């Protein structure tokens, strides 16, 4: 079969490869020299780039240098660019070429975000954005973000992730649940997988303690402790009830030193028109909270993950 393809003009082979995927294009380059030339051509990688990539590049805060469309593709996969005055970042999913965005904290609507007694806006070296939102003190925590569905890749299931970390001396988040929700607004439809309020925890120890509590309830913990204690019987361990009842989304560590927690997922159909709104809310506890650093909200395809930058 390869021999048959080799008699085709280079442009025909490139055309055929452009109907596959970025992964298949990379694999086909190992078949032969003519396949490599075809698979590396601009006509192939132009197909894998978003149709509006030139508009996106024009919104970048700094120039994006590249010598070929293939180089540009992987540049956008491996190194997200800052766009829209540095308040948002853009990247591509490496396997599919679908769009990925992160809305920086300045792009979000934060209750009392303009009050320096409640929120400040420091620069954090490990953040991709120039500023993060630092929580000084609030009892009403509400953070909202929105994005036009036309910015996203069609026929794609997206996951919304809240990106954050805690400063030293933070308080008010221990085992305290927050409500997260993702929903469609406008466009004449409600969207798939949106609108359901879910419970999440920002405390990074919540998952560990919830698992510990469930293990203790099964009796396995006591049996393990007895086996490891040969001289005296185990001392009963009492855990607060809130440590035993944790159910919901838990934070995970990212490769860039930040934490992320899932806010929800949604499907973008072909020709979708409207907005996706994402919200994080904690107003029921009535207690004061502080020390939360907010980098932003990330939207990425569900099927694959991009490297954290």
Q: Which tens digits make up the pLDDT trace of 230-264?
A: 444 444 444 455 544 567 899 999 989 999 999 99
Bigger pLDDT: 61 vs 9:
61
- pLDDT of the residue at 235: 44
pLDDT tens-place string over residues 142-179: 999 999 999 999 999 999 999 999 999 999 998 889 99
Percent of the chain with pLDDT over 90: 59
Any bridge partners for residue 142, and if so which? Answer: 281
What CA–CA distance (Å, rounded) separates 250 from 205? Answer: 9
**Mean pLDDT lowest for which of 240-244, 277-281, 302-306?**
240-244
Residue 272 has pLDDT above 50, yes or no: yes
- pLDDT of the residue at 38: 82
pLDDT tens-place string over residues 51-60: 999 999 999 9
φ/ψ region of 187 (left if φ > 0, alpha if ψ in -120 to 50, else beta) reads: left
Mean pLDDT over 112-127 rounds to 96
Structure token pair of residue 152: 């996203």
**Mean pLDDT lowest for which of 31-45, 182-196, 263-277?**
182-196
99-104 and 290-301 beta bridge pairing: antiparallel
Give the three-class secondary structure for 104.
strand
Bigger pLDDT: 50 vs 307:
50
- pLDDT of the residue at 233: 47
- From the list 259, 276, 258, the residue with the least C-alpha distance to 267 is 276
Contact by Cβ (8 Å): 139, 287: yes
Structural domains of the chain in order of their starting residue, each with its CATH number: 9-78 (no CATH), 80-215+241-308 (2.60.120.260)
**Residue showing tokens 């805060």:** 61
Contact by Cβ (8 Å): 162, 293: no
- pLDDT of the residue at 191: 54
Mean pLDDT over 216-231 rounds to 42
Contact by Cβ (8 Å): 288, 139: yes
C-alpha triplet 107, 113, 114: angle, nearest 5°: 105
- pLDDT of the residue at 144: 98
Q: Which of the 8 DSSP states describes residue 116?
A: T
Give the three-class secondary structure for 192.
strand
Residue 190 has pLDDT above 80, yes or no: no
Bigger pLDDT: 206 vs 98:
98
């Amino acid at each position: 079969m390869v021999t048959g393809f080799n008699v085709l003009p280079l442009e025909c082979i490139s055309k055929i490869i452009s109907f596959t995927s970025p992964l298949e294009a990379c694999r086909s380059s190992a078949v032969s020299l003519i396949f490599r030339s075809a698979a590396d051509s601009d006509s192939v990688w132009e197909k894998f780039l978003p149709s509006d990539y030139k508009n996106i590049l024009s919104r970048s805060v700094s120039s994006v240098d590249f010598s070929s469309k293939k180089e540009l593709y992987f540049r956008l996969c491996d190194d997200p660019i800052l766009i829209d005055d540095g308040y948002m970042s853009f990247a591509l999913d490496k396997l599919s070429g679908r769009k990925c965005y992160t809305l920086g904290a300045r792009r979000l609507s934060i209750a009392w975000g303009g009050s320096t007694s409640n929120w400040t806006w420091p620069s954090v070296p490990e953040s991709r954005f120039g500023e993060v939102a630092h929580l000084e003190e609030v009892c009403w925590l509400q953070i909202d973000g929105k994005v036009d569905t036309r910015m996203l890749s069609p026929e794609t299931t997206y996951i919304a992730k809240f990106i954050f970390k805690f400063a030293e001396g933070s308080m008010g988040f221990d085992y305290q649940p927050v409500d997260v929700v993702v929903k469609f607004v406008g466009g004449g439809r409600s969207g798939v997988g949106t609108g359901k309020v879910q419970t999440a925890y920002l405390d990074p120890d919540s998952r560990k303690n919830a698992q510990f509590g469930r293990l203790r309830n099964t009796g396995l913990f006591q049996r393990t402790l007895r086996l490891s204690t040969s001289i005296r019987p185990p001392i009963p361990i009492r855990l607060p009830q809130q440590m035993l009842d944790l159910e919901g989304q838990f934070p995970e560590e990212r490769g860039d030193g930040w934490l992320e927690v899932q806010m929800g997922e949604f499907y973008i159909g072909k020709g979708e028109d409207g907005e996706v709104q994402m919200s994080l809310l904690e107003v029921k506890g009535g207690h004061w909270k502080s020390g939360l650093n907010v980098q932003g909200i990330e939207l990425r395809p569900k099927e694959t993950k991009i490297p954290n930058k």
